[in-house]
Structure 1
Amino acid sequence: MSDQKNAAAQASTDTALTAEERAAQWQVFGERTIYKNRWVTVALADIRTPDGVRFEHHKVYLPQAAMVAMIDDQDRVLMMWRHRFVPDLWNYELPGGLLDAGEDPAVAAAREVIEETGYRTTGTLERVVAFEPMIGTVASQHFVFIARGVEKVGEPTEKNEAAHMKWVPLDDVLGLIAAGKIRNSGTLVAVLHLLAARNRA
């Protein structure tokens, strides 16, 4: 988005704010990039907080991501047991990955499912939410989908994603969370949504 479009969008947002909201809004006077590659952009924003203090605040931009919770007819969700080297931990995660430039989130989600699991979604993907996992510093929109119809069409083509896959009963999810075996934010959002929806039914 160009600077002119950004300014227009900001002005439109500002006019919709109440006086109380405008007083609580952080003001941004500019931004400069200090590092950038295809995976991550790190910038410093010149900002002023509501108490009048002005300083440079780090901003991190990461690509958008999409993930899918696939449910079978036995009320189980397909999860991947995988190692994450950055925090150095093992946990259960849903299949998913980064969007290509201009890619529709649902298309990316379905593509990642096939690549990582060998399953194909057979029904419409239900979009649950788009959320920001670290909204105070990082901009990286994540899209969560539910798929209630899937079929096995082959073996995963992505060989670096997981040690193994498992159909996990929804009844076991809260225990896995309590044991620290589900840590990924998108996975947590999806499985907790599934449990809440089941309890409402």
Structure 2
Amino acid sequence: MTRPQDDAGRWIVHSERPIYENEWVTVGLADISVPSGERFDHHTVTLPSAAMTVVLDDAGENVLMSWRHRFVPDVWNWELPGGLLDAGESPAETAAREVEEETGYRPRSVEHLVSFEPMVGTVRSAHHVFLARGVERVADATELNEGSFEWISLADVPELIAKGRIANSGSLVGLLHVLALSGPTARSRAE
């Protein structure tokens, strides 16, 4: 269902300026008006775009994930391979490169699943999720700080999510998307 855009509901940005910036993050201050007519300053955060990949084995039964610690929220969780887009690199190129660097596997195919904004109310940071069906081992991983990669049964993913063992937004979006595509509703549509 597509809804028409209603300019009466649009927030208006009169100006925006950076108040802190480096290669990892830009914090800005925007002068905005909301539909009620109220005008005020609103903080913005801009982060580099990222790409991640749901890597399935040849049978489509297992997904390649890393068990790793994220120090900012102090969380251990399973994550998909992925990373930030390099200058001049397409999201698909980033997705394939990150799989190979982090795991030592080269995807046989990479197809776009979905792009999303993880914190759409304040943060700009496009995340692009891809699906790789099958991989070939080509080398040892070169990114040594990305955790320990293992093949995880796709059937175990819903329980891992329920137990909070998958907490990364890109991993959640990608895995839930793949599960929805392979679930009973998707199978009945294909029949």
Q: Same fold (TM over 0.5)?
A: yes
Q: Is the 8 A contact 2:58 2:135 kept in 1?
A: no
Residue 17 (structure 2) pairs with residue 24 (structure 1) = no
Structure-2 separation of matches of 1:139 and 1:102: 19
Distance apart, 1:23 and its partner CA:
1.3
Deviation readout 1:77-131 (Å, 9 max, x if unpaired):
00000100000010000000000112111111111011101100122x1100111
Amino acid at match of 1:103: E
Give the aligned partner of residue 132 of structure 1: 117
Amino acid at match of 1:85: F
Runs of 4+ in 1 over 2 A off after TM superposition: none
Give the aligned partner of residue 151 of structure 2: 167
Give the aligned partner of residue 71 of structure 2: 85
Report the 3-state secondary structure (helix = DSSP H, G, I; strand = E; otherwise coil) of the residue aligned with 2:35: coil
Amino acid at match of 2:91: P
- CA RMSD for the aligned pairs? 1.0
Structure-2 separation of matches of 1:187 and 1:108: 16
Residue 77 (structure 2) pairs with residue 106 (structure 1) = no
Residue 48 (structure 2) pairs with residue 63 (structure 1) = yes
Unaligned 5+ segments in structure 1 are 1-16
Unaligned 5+ segments in structure 2 are none
Structure-2 separation of matches of 1:169 and 1:41: 38
Structure-1 separation of matches of 2:177 and 2:25: 29
Give the aligned partner of residue 155 of structure 1: 140
Distance apart, 1:73 and its partner CA:
2.8
Structure-1 separation of matches of 2:87 and 2:139: 27
| Larger deviation, residues 46-55 vs 85-94 | 46-55
Between the two proteins, what is the percent identity of the paired residues? Answer: 60
Report the 3-state secondary structure (helix = DSSP H, G, I; strand = E; otherwise coil) of the residue aligned with 1:182: coil
Report the 3-state secondary structure (helix = DSSP H, G, I; strand = E; otherwise coil) of the residue aligned with 2:52: strand
Structure-2 separation of matches of 1:139 and 1:62: 6
